[in-house]
Structure 1
């Protein structure tokens, strides 16, 4: 297996997050897909911290539980490394080059493209089609990460009984899911030439992505996510973070300090505002086609209300299960759909070519 690999239908994506691990299986039907299996498992604290796996063997056992809970016969999976641990660059090459020739060009120019020795990385590339301004050229997205970063995830997944065929990048998986879902859930955005702002608010971090012409042009990661809010409300450890999250999802905030919550929400908006300003001034208030919110933050009404109150364009909490019908046994997971966006993007990756 290289950094990436090619899976066959059905496509199975496994998302390794700090608080949970999630699996989503897609079955292809012509050019459309259905969700055939779905599962989520809560992780013990500190098993994954930020982007690091602290105990591969323990995580492997949790992944084995997830695999059995999923009940799928598929073992070939797509997983991801964090975008913070990967390098992505677009290059222009002749439209006549085939995959083998592109790979040779990348290796010949590796020193300029990849800031690590080529023998210490796994890389993948994907043609993005004709170059919009260079006749006879095609755009190619090159993504690379250190081999050791991939290997720890592969080892844990293999201990869980999976066979890793593709190791993607989380930001690309989220983009792929958005590109698949938005034409169905927000068709008005398809022909909008303004950029798209994606907000991935998880327990541990805030990841911003600006998308132009269907591709990520800017990313920024801040390490403080919903965890800072939960830690501040749970100083005496009298309530678990999962219980706090359930209350925020239900907007049951009575009894919690209003000023602290308001301060957190204000700080969240400040992080987003600064991140966008680093990319381009005067863009945030009205310069996007929409703000798409994924992950746990998309399930918190107070977060969505804060975002909506500060911009003049739509704020869309993205739930894949508003488009895909769930198996009856997984119907209870419909409200949790925003947390499965990455897993969906990983499963979709199974149906596209890979390279090493």
Structure 2
């Protein structure tokens, strides 16, 4: 079966998240019921190297991965990467419970035109048994995931050209759900009612992704073309800073007083309006349960004042994502630097969490 794994991978795994602005690498090792962060790195990508989560300049991506590896010095060479949710087809099939794995695979191939909207010879796919069907005891539910082989090949080629070994290609939303399993421990109220609806806003460089999770699964998603790069560029142009200097200033502050009124406040206003719009569309999409709180993730989630303004405007409790709360941290890692990058590491973290055998 083509490399598009849904199951678990070998112990000690590197998760690599390739976005339009950065390559994020994290290595997790299972330790009992938890994980230990063994190594990590975040390295910038040249603009245009990745567009809409697809590799456009392979050489730039490979070089960024190599820089991340050189900095992190991971023990493992095995890597999990992810295709964007927009590139994947996911369906739950109902099949006879008596079918073996080989028979399920053959049935999927036979009926591929019913489930997959592109030629089967261009497809990478995988499946996972979900258990017996709730209504029919002689049937089983099977999760099918498929995408174009070229999307998988791009990622695996980038990993191999960087001297690493691709272990699995996941889907971003599955990785996010896996990481949310750790975020739940930031939210004591979920321990009493795990089915509460929680909104997760991942503020990337060029887009912000709005997800609603219930019972640990994403039940609603909406992407908006607006992200932290706009603010970084405005800071860089106005104050003559390098891109990296502008990115640090965006998170840590320290810019002139007029920055707050002229640059930061308009950006926060726009972002809050978009989050509010996404929340409203979630409610109007059907009889959806009330969102109990909101988690901010992504590199721009720690912009000074955003959390407080969003809490005031939405009336919701706002948390900043940190999937490493329960994890041990290797002595090789600067804990404070990792904490600063933690909100942007959800996808990479979820990928590396596949390493639990």
Q: TM-score higher than 0.5 here? A: yes
Q: Quick one: structure 1 residues 233 and 334, their matched pair in 2 at CA, closer, same or farther if it must change by over 3 Å?
A: closer
1:278 equivalenced with 2:281 (yes/no): yes
| 2:180–2:216 Cα contact (<8 Å) kept | no
Measured after TM superposition, the shift of residue 308 of structure 1 is 1.2
* Unpaired stretches in structure 1, ≥5 consecutive residues: none
Matches within 5 A, 1:63-102: 63-94=65-96, 97-102=99-104
Q: Quick one: structure 1 residues 307 and 64, their matched pair in 2 at CA, closer, same or farther if it must change by over 3 Å?
A: same
Measured after TM superposition, the shift of residue 256 of structure 1 is 1.0
Q: What SS is found at the alignment partner of 2:310?
A: helix
**Which position in structure 1 is the counterpart of 2:303?**
300
Measured after TM superposition, the shift of residue 53 of structure 1 is 1.9
Matches within 5 A, 1:31-46: 31-46=33-48
Aligned pair partner of 1:160 in 159, 162, 166: 162
1:187 equivalenced with 2:192 (yes/no): no
**Which position in structure 2 is the counterpart of 1:256?**
259
Measured after TM superposition, the shift of residue 33 of structure 1 is 1.8
| 1:35–1:327 Cα contact (<8 Å) kept | yes
**Which position in structure 2 is the counterpart of 1:200?**
202
* Unpaired stretches in structure 2, ≥5 consecutive residues: none
User: How many matched pairs?
Assistant: 350
TM-score (norm: length of structure 1): 0.87
Moved over 6 A (4+): 282-286
Measured after TM superposition, the shift of residue 9 of structure 1 is 0.7
Q: Quick one: structure 1 residues 316 and 65, their matched pair in 2 at CA, closer, same or farther if it must change by over 3 Å?
A: same
1:214 equivalenced with 2:216 (yes/no): yes
**Which position in structure 1 is the counterpart of 2:340?**
335
Q: What SS is found at the alignment partner of 2:301?
A: helix
Instruction: Give per-residue Cα distances to partners, 1:181-233, cap 9 Å, x unaligned.
Output: 31x32232132433221111111211111222322222111222111223334
Measured after TM superposition, the shift of residue 260 of structure 1 is 4.2
Instruction: Give per-residue Cα distances to partners, 1:68-91, cap 9 Å, x unaligned.
Output: 322223211101111222222334
Q: Quick one: structure 1 residues 285 and 31, their matched pair in 2 at CA, closer, same or farther if it must change by over 3 Å?
A: closer
Q: Quick one: structure 1 residues 111 and 210, their matched pair in 2 at CA, closer, same or farther if it must change by over 3 Å?
A: farther
Aligned pair partner of 2:355 in 346, 350, 354: 350
RMSD between aligned residues: 2.7
**Which position in structure 2 is the counterpart of 1:268?**
271
Query: 2: CA distance between counterparts of 1:301 and 1:257?
Result: 10
Query: 1: CA distance between counterparts of 2:227 and 2:52?
Result: 11
Bigger mean CA deviation after superposition, 308-317 or 103-112? 103-112
**Which position in structure 1 is the counterpart of 2:119?**
117
